[in-house]
Structure 1
Amino acid sequence: MTAFSRFEVIPAVDVQDGAVVQLVGGERGTGTVYGDPVEAAADWVEAGAETLHLVDLDGAFEGERANADAIEAVVAATDEAVDVQLGGGIRTAADAQGLLDAGVDRVILGTAAVENPAVVAEITDTHPGSVVVSLDAKDGEVVVAGWTESTGLDPATAAERYASLGAGAILFTNVDVEGQLDGVDTDAVDAVASAVDVPVIASGGVATVDDVLALRRAGAAAVVVGTALYEDRFTLREAQAAVDAA
């Protein structure tokens, strides 16, 4: 199910070399390590997470999944406790369908969707509502291949295209502010959310609970938070409670 029944604050569990890592601006070599993915996932479930956002960072950069064992351990450990959305290195419909059949609730496609838009419809045919198309923006353009290649695509225009192909949700990440704890760009989120009827999951730059609330006001249906949670800028419960009370 991709439609969020309420605005969700979603913890990020980004995995590099088998460990939880948060990058700054999507750049390799900038990561801070935060321990074991299974332990992190268990902590977020205990803290009240309803969805976990898993990314195989090595897979995103290299084009093939490189942390399958760690990811599968997280999925197994959180089985049915929360929804799991997974991205990074998923390049074919067969890859995605295999992950969905194995217990992943939603697959996140970035490079694959840009290079072959038809893959979105192909996966949707067998697993309706399960595809989240990731639109990562740097300098106002969609970037792929681990945020290293610009496509020249406008995020809002691209979002419309993928929604029409059956995407169940759009994950919009502002790479310019990712991992920097400097605040969010609500105008960019508003542009994408206004362009589509499917849920938009915002990511990038969240430093405070006020940033979370600002993204909700901008039209996002959920927000992925990584560094701010790992650095104890606020707790997951605090953020979700603030949203629920707004």
Structure 2
Amino acid sequence: MTHFPEFEVIPAVDVQDGEVVQLVQGERGTGKRYGDPVEAAERWLEAGAETLHLVDLDGAFEGDRVNEAAFEAVVDAVGEEAAVQLGGGIRTADDAVGLLDLGVDRVILGTAAVENPEIVGAISAERPDSVMVSLDAKEGEVVVSGWTEGTGLDPAEAAERYEDLGAAAILFTNVDVEGQLEGIDREAVERVVDAVDIPVVASGGVAAVDDVVALRDAGAAAVVVGTALYEGEFTLREAQQAVENERR
């Protein structure tokens, strides 16, 4: 599977207790709710999304995926028409392969990849090109366990290491700007992009169409957008058109 042959704007469908939510700086209890995940997914598909970014927030915090039924319903509803990438609470290779069997196109590993880097190779050996490693950075350091624990890892160095282990893509989230609609940290993204040859998907802080274009110019292969789309700061189509206009 070719990942992101052209720059993509990917809507986030973050799920907590069976509902779509968007958190501020990844903190529990800060979430605003946006209804049913299947309805959200279908809405983004109609709006022109080619990929959907699903996150089990309960899984990310608790280490157990509890929104499986919601995600199965999303894959059933849109899996034929859009690529689906899913993260949050995936802790074992069996877990990941089970989700890929379900129809998920890419699994996103965060805490598990940091605690057990070999898991990346184990899944990739069974399902090539299916693993995206999520590196969440806070004050320039990779953090895990729902953004609560520091690791001492530099995001660019970590990205390089996971590429060597078989990751097909990196998801880089800047937690410092996550969910606040205050703009991106382009330099942090460029450092990770420059470190690897695999696609880097950027996430966190997108507040305006200009941020989307800036991330594309920074070398990101795609950008995940949550709060800004749900709050109507701009539409998916507006973001896609801005990127297309820049290409011409």
Give the alignment's TM-score, normalised by structure 1.
0.99
Question: What is the one-letter code of the residue matched to 2:208?
Answer: T
Q: Distance in 2 between matches of 1:153 and 1:221?
A: 23
Q: Distance in 2 between matches of 1:2 and 1:85?
A: 14
- Structure 2's unaligned 5+ residue stretches are none
Aligned length: 246
Contact 2:132 2:168 in 1 (8 A): yes
Q: Could you tell me which residue of structure 1 aligns to residue 11 of structure 2?
A: 11
Q: Could you tell me which residue of structure 1 aligns to residue 172 of structure 2?
A: 172
Alignment root-mean-square deviation, CA: 0.6
- 1:67-86 superposed matches below 5 A: 67-86=67-86
Q: Distance in 2 between matches of 1:172 and 1:2?
A: 19
- 1:152-163 superposed matches below 5 A: 152-163=152-163
Contact 2:79 2:104 in 1 (8 A): no
Q: Could you tell me which residue of structure 1 aligns to residue 44 of structure 2?
A: 44
Q: Distance in 2 between matches of 1:3 and 1:196?
A: 14
Q: Distance in 1 between matches of 2:42 and 2:195?
A: 35
Displacement after TM superposition at 1:79 (Å): 2.2
Q: Could you tell me which residue of structure 2 aligns to residue 229 of structure 1?
A: 229
Contact 1:85 1:108 in 2 (8 A): yes
Q: Distance in 2 between matches of 1:72 and 1:148?
A: 28
- 1:167-246 superposed matches below 5 A: 167-246=167-246
Q: Distance in 2 between matches of 1:96 and 1:64?
A: 13
Question: What is the one-letter code of the residue matched to 2:168?
Answer: G
Contact 1:2 1:199 in 2 (8 A): no
Q: Distance in 1 between matches of 2:137 and 2:65?
A: 22
Q: Distance in 2 between matches of 1:174 and 1:184?
A: 8
Contact 2:141 2:153 in 1 (8 A): yes
Displacement after TM superposition at 1:244 (Å): 1.5
Displacement after TM superposition at 1:88 (Å): 0.3
Q: Distance in 2 between matches of 1:180 and 1:79?
A: 30
Q: Distance in 2 between matches of 1:204 and 1:50?
A: 19
Q: Could you tell me which residue of structure 1 aligns to residue 91 of structure 2?
A: 91
- 1:53-132 superposed matches below 5 A: 53-132=53-132
Contact 1:2 1:168 in 2 (8 A): no
Contact 1:2 1:169 in 2 (8 A): no
Question: What is the one-letter code of the residue matched to 1:118?
Answer: E
Provide runs of 4+ in structure 1 moved above 4 Å. none
Q: Could you tell me which residue of structure 1 aligns to residue 24 of structure 2?
A: 24
Other structure's SS at 2:14 match: strand
Contact 1:38 1:74 in 2 (8 A): yes
Q: Distance in 2 between matches of 1:80 and 1:130?
A: 17
Q: Distance in 1 between matches of 2:227 and 2:3?
A: 25
Other structure's SS at 1:30 match: coil
